[in-house]
Amino acid sequence: MTYNYNKLWKLLIDKGMTKTELRVQAGISTNILAKMGKNESVALESLAKICVALKCTLDEVVEIVSDEAASTSIISLSDEAIQNRQSFQNNYEQLELSFSHNKKNSNKPKVISLFSGAGGLDIGFEQAGFSIAVAVEMDPSCCDTLKTNRPDLPIINGNITDITGTEILSKAGLKPLEAALVIGGPPCQSFSLAGLRKGLEDDRGKLLFEYVRVVRETLPVGFVLENVKGLTNWDSGRALKLLIEELSKPIEFEGKTYVYTITPPKVLNAVDYGVPQYRERLILVGNRKGLTFEYPKPCDEKERKTVWDAIGGLPAPEQPSETALRVAGTIKGRREKFGF
């Protein structure tokens, strides 16, 4: 295969855009542009980024000619070409989705959401003026819920242990240091007072440190971590101490050192903040600006909401659905196996 990018250079001239402007707008490196200047092959993801930035098709950027037929354009009938074309289309659609989502929320601070679930924590941050740039979640059912309610939200459906910070940033259309926050509540069953409390001996408990890894790889301005109250006293607080130590370690990036200032963790009760439920959660907050964070003050006890305040106006319940009955039938076994 030989590659020719003359169409791209002509397109830049027509748009009055320089190569430097293209590099910044598409989020590609100078090395990628240099390879294209030599008519060398580059990653399909880079081509997709260029197409998204220029709002053009692949055929307007590059001509790919097979060695067997110099007259053949990018469309080759080989299996490899078809697969490459499909791979490009997938990359393009994902990047276009991210571009569209971020353009709509361009003036809002961007948030990377980990362990997103159905998006409950995300809603709170959106109400506070942030924009969720990407959601990372392993459960396919939760991802289906996110897609249904937020069709334009970039989502990574996978195990966080297999997902790099670079992948997360790419999906979000961000670079290191650009995210305002990383937020999330790593699985809490390992530390919950209602569970078996295996803590760091449980693979789910170790996911706390995957959260740390993503913070260190993406370098947001700050982070907010939520977990159960039991994290404070598991093994006399060892897990929480290790977590804070890891989050506090210096990070070297492009010749500079970044350190997160950790606000002492605090257990907050949802009932003190307008939620009709006694729900205690540990909150851990940090930032790399050296700023002091103050937890919000609880409401007056007289201002607390009751369950009736929340659901009193709902219509009478219908009979349980087949799904509800099926899930209910698993509760006993789940309790015996996992302790919750």
- The tens digit of pLDDT for each residue in 169-195 reads 999 999 999 999 999 988 755 444 444
d(C-alpha 3, C-alpha 35), whole Å: 10
Query: Catalytic: which of 51, 142, 143, 188?
Result: 188
Q: Is the pLDDT of residue 20 over 50?
A: yes
d(C-alpha 28, C-alpha 144), whole Å: 31
Q: How far apart are the first and last CA of the chain?
A: 57
Residue 267's pLDDT is: 94
Q: What ranges in the chain are assigned the alpha helix state H?
A: 6-15, 19-26, 30-37, 44-54, 79-104, 120-127, 140-149, 165-172, 208-218, 238-248, 307-311, 322-328, 331-338
pLDDT band at 77; cut points 50, 70, 90: very low
Are 105 and 125 a contacting pair, CB within 8 Å? no
Are 262 and 286 a contacting pair, CB within 8 Å? yes
**4: number of Cβ within 10 Å:** 13
| Averaged pLDDT for residues 5-34 | 88
| Averaged pLDDT for residues 165-170 | 94
Q: Mapping DSSP to helix (H, G, I), strand (E, B) and coil, where does residue 314 land? A: coil
pLDDT tens-place string over residues 183-236 = 998 875 544 444 443 444 545 457 888 999 999 999 999 999 998 887 777 566
pLDDT band at 70; cut points 50, 70, 90: very low
Q: Please give the CATH number for the structural domain made up of 2-94.
A: 1.10.260.40
Q: Which residue has the higher pLDDT, 47 or 164?
A: 164
The gap from C-alpha 167 to its chain's centroid, in whole angstroms, comes to: 9
Q: Is the pLDDT of residue 8 over 90?
A: yes
Virtual torsion, Cα 285, 289, 290, 293, nearest 10 deg: -40
Give the C-alpha distances (Å, rounded to integers) separating 80 from 59, 76, 84, 93.
Answer: 17, 9, 6, 20
d(C-alpha 281, C-alpha 271), whole Å: 11
Rounded mean pLDDT of the chain?
82
**Of 18, 30, 66, 26, residue with least CA distance to 47:** 26
Single-letter amino acid, residue 15: K
Q: Which residue has the higher pLDDT, 141 or 68?
A: 141
pLDDT tens-place string over residues 240-286 = 888 899 999 999 999 999 999 999 999 999 999 989 999 899 999 99
Residue 67's pLDDT is: 54
Q: CATH classification of 103-311, choosing from 3.40.50.150, 3.10.20.30, 3.30.930.10, 3.10.580.10?
A: 3.40.50.150
Residue 339's pLDDT is: 54
Q: Which residue has the higher pLDDT, 30 or 283?
A: 283
Token pair 């220029």 in the structure block, residue: 54
pLDDT band at 91; cut points 50, 70, 90: low
Can you give the residue ranges of every domain in the chain?
Answer: 2-94, 103-311
Q: Is the pLDDT of residue 326 over 70?
A: yes
Rounded to the nearest 5 degrees, what angle is found at the Cα of 19, between the Cα atoms of 14 and 22?
A: 85
Q: Which residue has the higher pLDDT, 339 or 69?
A: 339
**Of 47, 144, 135, residue with least CA distance to 89:** 47
d(C-alpha 27, C-alpha 8), whole Å: 16
Predicted TM-score (pTM) of this structure: 0.64
Q: In the numeric block, which tokens belong to residue 190?
A: 């390992």
CA atoms within 13 A on the CB side of 299: 13
State yes or no: is 188 an active-site residue.
yes
